[in-house]
Structure 1
Amino acid sequence: MAQDPRDLDDAMLAFWRERHISTLTTTRPDGSPHVVPVGVTFDPETGTARVITSRTSRKARNVAAAGAQGLRVAVCQVDRARWATLEGVAVVRDEPEQVADAERRYEARYRTPRENPDRVVIEIAVDRVLGRG
């Protein structure tokens, strides 16, 4: 069931605050899917999901290769019968304030991230939410 990313029900909002590992799906240059486990945070007020990673990771390179227009991606989390997928257009952000903000959000949901001087943020402008929270 599709939901408005900026008007999610309480169950879905709670699901995105709980600690769950998700998967991020991007596409490789040849068009094949690249699916990897990630920690993801979601800000329902702005409709933005964030994944912190190294700039040299395949997922970051896949998104960066799409250029300024970004790459359509999906992040999905599952917990038994509950599931949720956030879809949207992703870009890579490397501004220190954006990286620091994403690290704080990650720490609040998961744990303090390890030091990584090559860290970037895959920032997703969520435009579609599917699932059952």
Structure 2
Amino acid sequence: MKPLTHLVPSAEALPARPSGGTLTTVRPDGSPHVVTVRFTWDADAGLVRVLTIDTTRKARNVLGAPGGRAAICQPDGFRWITLEGTAALSAEPHAVREGATRYLARYGTPPPNPPGRVVIEIAVDRVLGIH
């Protein structure tokens, strides 16, 4: 599927707010792995970015299933949005730096910078929600 590069205005407001969401990836046994994360939405690139460490379950799930799917869901009272797409893991310094820059802009504080930091990038091609 082709990544989305924009959302309708009512949906765009949700991932712009400094809230967390739940990231769903798929474990090797096919079961869902759901974890609360902070994330950013890059409307121009159609990407969700999640900073993490390379040894986490979510990172290993993405790395172990090239071209696999992932979703981020952000609730806001009775409104919610889910951004879904193909996930990839990157340790490239420019990609991690872009994730950290966007994190700082969204949350107002720099993200943790532990050894092994990587970024999960989800090329969003499906949006669900009540917004």
TM-score where L is the length of structure 2: 0.92
Q: Distance in 1 between matches of 2:89 and 2:30?
A: 19
**Secondary structure in structure 1 of the residue aligned to 2:15:** helix
- The aligned residue for residue 55 of structure 2 is 56
Identity of aligned residues (%): 52
Moved over 2 A (4+): 4-7
The RMSD of aligned alpha carbons is 1.3
- The aligned residue for residue 85 of structure 2 is 88
Q: Deviations over 1:91-116 (max 9, x none)?
A: 10110011001001111112211221
Alignment of 1:33-112 (within 5 A): 33-67=32-66, 70-110=67-107, 111-112=109-110
Q: Distance in 2 between matches of 1:55 and 1:26?
A: 14
TM-score where L is the length of structure 1: 0.91
**Secondary structure in structure 1 of the residue aligned to 2:7:** coil
Contiguous gaps of at least 5 residues in structure 1: none
Number of residue-to-residue matches in the alignment: 128
- The aligned residue for residue 125 of structure 2 is 127
